[in-house]
Amino acid sequence: MLLDVREDDERAIAQIEPSLHIPMAQVEGRVAEIPRDKEVVVYCHHGGRSYAVAAYLEGEGYSPVTNLTGGIDDWARTVDPSMERY
């Protein structure tokens, strides 16, 4: 399950679907929306925010949790070059 922790304006530019969108600042209050029975892959623009959210989720007992290294920017460069970059 992909978890997008970027802001709304970033998501409007590019997104990986299907994904659940919960901006980083809202994760703690909306953690119940994140399924515990699936692997969670967290992504942001470059990987910093998603790294922090992945660590938080692990601390909350989520497993497995992965940070998408390089974020959506790296995804656009290496996996989907048609995706708009910002």
2-78: CATH number: 3.40.250.10
The answer to whether residues 34 and 3 touch, using CB atoms and an 8 Å cutoff, is yes
Entry pTM: 0.96
Mean pLDDT (whole number) for 50-67: 98
Mean pLDDT (whole number) for 19-25: 98
Q: Which residues are catalytic?
A: 44
Domain boundaries, given as residue ranges, for the chain: 2-78
DSSP per position, the chain:
-EEE-S-HHHHHH---SS-EE--GGGHHHHGGGS-SSS-EEEE-SSSHHHHHHHHHHHHTT--SEEE-TTHHHHHHHHT-TTS---
Q: What is the pLDDT of residue 24?
A: 98
Mean pLDDT (whole number) for 14-40: 97
